[in-house]
């Protein structure tokens, strides 16, 4: 019988964290967190540095690995890392996507290239219910990046809560941020041995055209 060792595609945010939680409930055995960076020293969407990913991994009691790739090489690098995982006895990849078919198709394709299976524990669950479950389980996360074309910068630095979720929805945005409205950093919760020791500077930093973030230490 094939073991259930898995890696988790780890953004550092709420969806990958809840996917990890549910994967463990389903009997999978997480072995590694995989976070992809661009050519900068931060993750592409959530804009987290390696020290933050390392702190999360240590509190979760898991190994982590950072992959670095330019946009045009992303898939090639990703598949190469998965093949390396397969050689280490990892048979499954856990992903936090919810309902975007092109994302699932990509994940299934890259996993198949490494003779692995993609597992999406959040697939087709109602977006709003996902955020509710995450909060009610006791996870703690801050909004660290917003797309200012879709959501005001005033949401930066706020902790996810049921009331904040309603505010986001009233602002005309998806409460789960699945359309790219915002990204989060999880810093505590039932999987964590201890809260992540992170300091936040609430100064808003413009990023490119439409993005803004808070500074994290």
**Looking at the structure, do residues 200 and 103 belong to the same domain, yes or no?**
no
pTM equals 0.93
Residues 191-214: pLDDT tens digits?
A: 999 999 887 766 677 766 788 887
Query: The CATH number of the domain where 68 resides is what?
Result: 3.40.50.620
CA–CA gap between residue 10 and residue 118 (Å, rounded): 14
8 A C-beta contact, residue 33 and residue 60? yes
Angle between helix 127-136 and 14-25 (nearest 10):
80
Number of domains composing the chain: 2
Q: Which of 92, 119, 146 is the last residue of a domain?
A: 119
**Looking at the structure, do residues 88 and 30 belong to the same domain, yes or no?**
yes
**Looking at the structure, do residues 56 and 150 belong to the same domain, yes or no?**
no
**Looking at the structure, do residues 163 and 86 belong to the same domain, yes or no?**
no
Do the domain assignments include residue 101? yes
Q: Which domain holds residue 209?
A: 137-216
H-helix segments, the chain: 14-25, 50-60, 74-87, 101-113, 127-136, 162-170
Residue 8 half-sphere exposure toward CB, CA atoms < 13 A: 30
Residues 76-126: pLDDT tens digits?
A: 999 999 999 999 999 999 999 998 899 999 999 999 999 999 999 999 999
Do the domain assignments include residue 61? yes
Do the domain assignments include residue 166? yes
CA–CA gap between residue 67 and residue 83 (Å, rounded): 13
């Amino acid at each position: 019988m094939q073991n259930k060792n898995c890696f988790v595609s780890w953004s550092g945010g709420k969806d990958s964290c809840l996917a990890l939680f549910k994967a463990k409930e389903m009997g999978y055995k997480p072995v590694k967190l995989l976070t992809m960076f661009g050519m900068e020293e931060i993750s592409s969407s959530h804009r987290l540095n390696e020290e933050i990913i390392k702190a999360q991994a240590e509190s979760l009691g898991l190994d982590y690995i950072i992959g670095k790739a330019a946009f045009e090489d992303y898939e090639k690098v990703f598949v190469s890392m998965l093949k390396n995982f397969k050689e280490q006895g990892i048979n499954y990849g856990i992903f936090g996507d919810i309902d975007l078919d092109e994302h699932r198709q990509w994940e299934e394709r890259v996993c198949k290239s490494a003779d692995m299976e993609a597992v999406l524990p959040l697939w087709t669950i109602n977006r709003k219910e996902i955020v509710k479950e995450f909060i009610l389980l006791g996870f703690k996360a801050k909004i660290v990046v917003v797309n200012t074309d879709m959501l005001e910068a005033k949401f930066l630095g706020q902790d996810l809560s049921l009331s904040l979720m309603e505010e986001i929805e009233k602002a005309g945005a998806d409460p789960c941020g699945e359309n790219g409205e915002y990204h989060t950093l999880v810093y505590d919760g039932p999987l964590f041995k201890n809260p992540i020791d992170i300091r936040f500077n609430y100064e808003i930093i413009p990023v490119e055209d439409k993005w803004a973030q808070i500074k994290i230490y």
